[in-house]
């Protein structure tokens, strides 16, 4: 028979779904690995080194800020791993490693620790890190290298190992040496926008000739769907971003037939990575069912506007940051109707 010491007292509910933050974070982090692997295959040693740098940089920064704030280590929650991988995936393959480290510290420090750690960060930390280096190193972040060039596993892109605080060397002679056919260093979007060239769709789906490490629309879709299926991301967010981006692109094309069409808009740049893995960051996105739809449409719309009218080829990053900023307000506006509330009004007025 049980004696007194062995009786546990807890409050209801005594059952739990078993859902667990750590498990969610770990699954998301592991789901990014195929993307990272594919990026490394396409871009070689430089991509591998950069991903490692951002990953380790984020872990290091997380631990450091824990120390400074006198908290226990929060590395176990895997969220810094996600940030590190996402950050690396959103950078160009030949991005200097030291700048990658700066980006990692900006991501964790400015994007997360400043606001109080896990769950408190209004913006996606990886995007904060990327926005920071976009502003700090505008040249390096728009220097693209071709995919699948020869010797990519033995020789890193020269800019990768640039000395800290020195301007990385111009890599055009190096590019020329590789003699990559027709490589202009422009991203597919820029090609469309400034040179009126179109890019084969297969390139876009598998990761374009030039772009960030993690730009492989098809693979992102597969990984994202897997997470959505496991209920670890809210599928309504990528769906509404994709649908609205496509819709606005289609509308834009009605007015100006030379504008990129829906498919190109969807598959190019960071849109897919952003829609599936960054905008869906639970902390920075709204919580109500109507709210996430508004949020998605807002991001789609801003992306399209920046891509069409802005000076930057890439609008997703800013669009999502803006979406993050709007999320609390969107939540406020879309508070669910309390059960029975509307009926009560109707009866009163009746």
Partner 1 sequence: MFSLTQLFGRSTFSHGIHPPEHKAETAQRPIRRMPFPQQLVLPLNQHIGKPAVACVKKGQEVVRGEPIAEADSYVSVPLHAPATGRIRGIELMPSARGPRTPSILLDVYESATQEVLWGCERDLDSLSPEQLIQAVRETGMVGLGGAAFPSHVKLTPPTDHAVDTLVVNGCECEPYLTCDHRMMLEWTDALLLGTRIAMRCLGVAQAVIGVEDNKLDAVDAIAARIQPGSGISVKAVPTKYPQGAEKMLIKSVLNREVPPGGIPAQIGVVVNNVGTLSMLGRLLPKGEGLIERVVSVVGPGVERPGNYLVPIGTPVGFVLEQAGHEGRKSEIILGGPMMGTAVPSLDTPITKGTSGVLVLNEPAIDTESRLRSWPCIRCGRCLEACPMHLNPSMLGQLAAKREYEQMGEQYHLMDCFECGCCSYSCPSNIPLVQYFRIAKSILREKP
Name the site residues for partner 1 (rule: CB under 8 A). 1-4, 6-24, 77, 117-120, 234, 282-285, 287-289, 292, 331, 335-341, 343-344, 347
Residue closer to partner 1 (CB basis): 64 or 283: 283
Residue closer to partner 1 (CB basis): 254 or 338: 338
How many CA atoms lie within 13 Å of 241's alpha carbon, on the beta-carbon side?
31
Can you tell me which residue has the tokens 């999502």? 320
Least Å distance, CB 327 to partner 1, is: 9
| CA proximity to 192, closest of 257, 144, 276 | 257
We find the least distance from the C-beta atom of residue 217 to partner 1, in angstroms, to be 26
For residue 49, what are the CA distances in angstroms to 215, 216, 232? 17, 19, 28
Cβ(88)–Cβ(213) below 8 Å: yes
As measured in angstroms, the least distance from the Cβ of 223 to partner 1 is 19
Supply the minimum distance, in Å, between the C-beta of residue 84 and partner 1. 18
Other Cβ atoms less than 10 A from the Cβ of 99: the count is: 22
Q: How far is the CB of 282 from partner 1 (least distance, A)?
A: 4
Task: Estimate to the nearest angstrom the gap between the alpha carbon of 170 and the chain centroid.
Answer: 28
Q: How far apart are CA 97 and CA 46, in angstroms?
A: 9
When the beta carbons of 19 and 166 are compared against partner 1, the nearer one is 19
What stretch of H or E contains 128? helix 125-136
> Are 268 and 212 contacting, i.e. CB atoms less than 8 angstroms apart?
no
Shortest distance in whole angstroms from residue 311 CB to partner 1: 33
DSSP letter string over 255-319? H-TTS--HHHHHHSTTHHHIIIIITT-TTTS--SHHHHHHHHHHHHHHHHHHHHHSSSS--HHHH
Nearer to partner 1, 18 or 257 (CB): 18
């Amino acid at each position: 028979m049980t004696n007194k010491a062995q009786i546990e007292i807890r409050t209801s509910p005594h059952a739990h779904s078993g859902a667990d933050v750590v498990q969610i974070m770990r699954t998301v982090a592991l789901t990014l690995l195929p993307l990272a692997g594919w990026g490394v295959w396409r871009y070689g040693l430089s991509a591998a080194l950069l991903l490692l740098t951002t990953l380790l940089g984020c872990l290091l920064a997380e631990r450091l800020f824990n120390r400074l704030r006198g908290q226990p280590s929060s590395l176990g929650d895997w969220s810094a791993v996600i940030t590190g991988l996402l950050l690396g995936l959103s950078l160009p393959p030949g991005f200097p490693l030291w700048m990658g480290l700066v980006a990692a510290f900006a991501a964790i420090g400015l994007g997360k620790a400043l606001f109080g750690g896990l769950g408190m960060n209004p913006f996606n930390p990886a995007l904060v890190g990327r926005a920071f280096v976009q502003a700090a190193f505008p040249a390096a972040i728009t220097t693209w290298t071709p995919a699948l060039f020869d010797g990519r596993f033995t020789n890193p892109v020269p800019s990768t190992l640039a000395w800290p605080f020195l301007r990385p060397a111009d890599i055009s002679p190096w590019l020329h040496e590789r003699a990559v056919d027709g490589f202009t260093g422009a991203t597919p979007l820029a090609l469309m926008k400034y040179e009126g060239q179109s890019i084969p769709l297969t390139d876009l789906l598998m990761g374009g000739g030039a772009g960030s490490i993690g730009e492989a629309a098809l693979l992102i879709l597969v990984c994202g769907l897997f997470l959505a299926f496991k209920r670890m991301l809210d599928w309504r967010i990528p769906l509404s971003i994709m649908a609205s981006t496509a819709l606005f692109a289609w509308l834009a094309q009605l007015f100006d037939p030379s504008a990129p069409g829906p498919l190109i808009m969807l598959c190019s740049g960071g849109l897919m990575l952003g829609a599936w893995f960054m905008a869906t960051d639970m902390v920075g996105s709204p919580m109500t069912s109507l709210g996430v739809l508004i949020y998605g449409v807002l991001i789609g719309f801003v992306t399209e506007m920046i891509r069409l009218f802005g000076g930057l080829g890439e609008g997703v990053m800013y669009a999502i940051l803006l979406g993050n900023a709007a999320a609390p307000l969107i939540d406020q506006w879309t508070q669910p109707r309390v059960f029975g509330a509307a009926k009560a009004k109707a009866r009163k007025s009746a």
